[in-house]
Structure 1
Amino acid sequence: MRAIKGLWRWRHNPLCRPTDLAEGWVALAALLLILTLAPLTGVLVGGAAQDALQRSVRDQHESRHRVTASVVRELERSAPAVEPEVVVVPERRSRVLARWTAPDGSEHREDVLTTLQDPAPGDRFRMWTDEGGRIVAGPLDPATATTHAVTAGVGAALLAAAVIEGVRRISVWRMVRRRHDRWGREWDRAGPDWGRTGTGS
C-alpha cells in the first residue's frame, strides 16, 4: 500500500527514481489482480467443484438404496474405539447378525454394526446397500457437497491471492537487489579515492 501511495507522492518529484515508480506500479497491479483474479478463480473453482459434487450426489442416490434389516441375533458387543485426545463420548455400536432383502430381490445374511442399544431378535433398523445388497456408506448429502464446493472456492481464491502477492514480493525484492547492486558498483568507483591525499576530498 505504501508503494501505491508513493505513485501519487512521487509523480512530479525530481528525486523519484524509476525503481520507486516501478515498485508502485507493481504493487498497484498486484492489488488489482487480487481484487479481480482471486475472486474469479474462487468462483470458477467453486462452481466446477459444485457441479462435480452434485453430480456425484445424484449418482450416489441412484446407486445406493436404503433397506430395512432385521436382527437375527446379537453377537459379541463391539467396544467403541476411544482415542486419548477425543473428548466427546463415542457412539456405542452393537454387532449383530442381520438379514435383509436387496433391491434386486436377493436375500442377505451378514454381520453388521448397528446403533441399536439392546438389539433383540426381530428388531429392525435401516442401512444403505448397493443394488446387489452389499453394505455401503450413505450417499453424500447435497448440503455437505455445497459446503465442500464453497470451501474449495474460498481456498482457490486465497491461493490465487497468495501467488499474486508472492510474485509481487519477488519482483520488488529483485528490483531492490538490482538497485543495491548499482549502488555497490557506484560506491566501488567513487569510494576508494575518498580521504586520500591529492584526490580533492
Structure 2
Amino acid sequence: MRAGGRAKKWLWRWRANPLRRKDDVLEAWLVLAVWALISVGGTLAGVFTARAADDVFAQQRAERTPVQAVLLTDAPRAAATSYRALVKVRWTLSDGSTHTGMTLVDGGRKAGSTIVLWTDTQGDPTTQPPSRTNAAVEAGFLGAASALALTGVAFGAGGAARWWLDRRRIDQWGRQWDLVGPRWGHKTS
C-alpha cells in the first residue's frame, strides 16, 4: 500500500463480508446497471438518433428540387448587409405548370432578376436541404445530444436511487443505535 493512501478493494460490495447489508448489494447492482445503461444505451441512442436524422436529411435532398424563379417585385435595399426581404416570385416546374408565391431574397434585388428557389414534391417553396456534409455534422450533433441526454437521465435516476438508499441506511443505523447505544458504558447525565 502506498504511504498515506488507502487500499482499494475492487468489487468489495459483492464479496462475502459480515458488515455487508442488502442495501449495499442493491447499490452495487444499481451502479452497475447505471453504467451499463450509460455505456450501451447512450451509444445506441446516439447511433439510432444520428441514423434517423441522416435518413430525414437524405429524404429532404431527394424530395426537394431547385428551380429558377423570377422576381415580380423589387426587394427593398437596407443599410444592413444581411437584410432579406419578402418578395413575390414566379417559377415554372418541370411539368410546365407556373406558380407564384412569396419568398425571402437578399435586399436590393430588382424585379425581373432570377434566383434559385427550392420546391417540395407539390411544387411549393421550401428551404434548401442540407448538403451531405452539413447533414452528417448535424446528425452527429443530434446523436451526441441524445446520448448525453440519456446519460444525464440515467445518472440522475441512479443518483436519486442512491440518495434514497443512503437515507434508508441512515434510518436503519439510527434504529440499530437506539437498540445498542443504551447498553454501552456509563451515561453522562
Task: State whether TM-score is above 0.5.
Answer: yes
Structure 1 residues 6 and 52, CA, compared in 2 at 3 Å: closer, same or farther?
A: farther
| Structure 1 range deviating more: 164-173 or 9-18 | 9-18
How much does 1:30 deviate? 2.7
Output one character per residue of 1:20-49: Cα deviation in whole Å (capped at 9) or x when no partner: 454344334433432223112211222223
| Structure 1 range deviating more: 41-50 or 105-114 | 105-114
Using the aligned pairs only, state the percent identity.
30
1:159 aligns with 2:144: no
Partner of 2:51 in structure 1? Answer: 47
The 8 Å contact of residues 92 and 115 in structure 1, kept in 2 or not, is answered as: yes
Q: What is the aligned length? A: 179
Determine the C-alpha separation between the residues in 2 that align with 1:98 and 1:13. 79
1:142 aligns with 2:132: yes
Unaligned stretches of 5+ in structure 2?
1-7
Unaligned stretches of 5+ in structure 1?
81-88
Which of 49, 58, 65 is 2:62 aligned to? 58
Determine the C-alpha separation between the residues in 1 that align with 2:167 and 2:139. 42
TM-score by length of 1: 0.64
Structure 1 residues 25 and 57, CA, compared in 2 at 3 Å: closer, same or farther?
A: same
Partner of 1:124 in structure 2? Answer: 114
Partner of 2:105 in structure 1? Answer: 114
Output one character per residue of 1:61-96: Cα deviation in whole Å (capped at 9) or x when no partner: 2xx332142x55636x2658xxxxxxxx55134666
Partner of 1:83 in structure 2? Answer: none
Determine the C-alpha separation between the residues in 2 that align with 1:40 and 1:131. 33
Determine the C-alpha separation between the residues in 2 that align with 1:41 and 1:99. 44
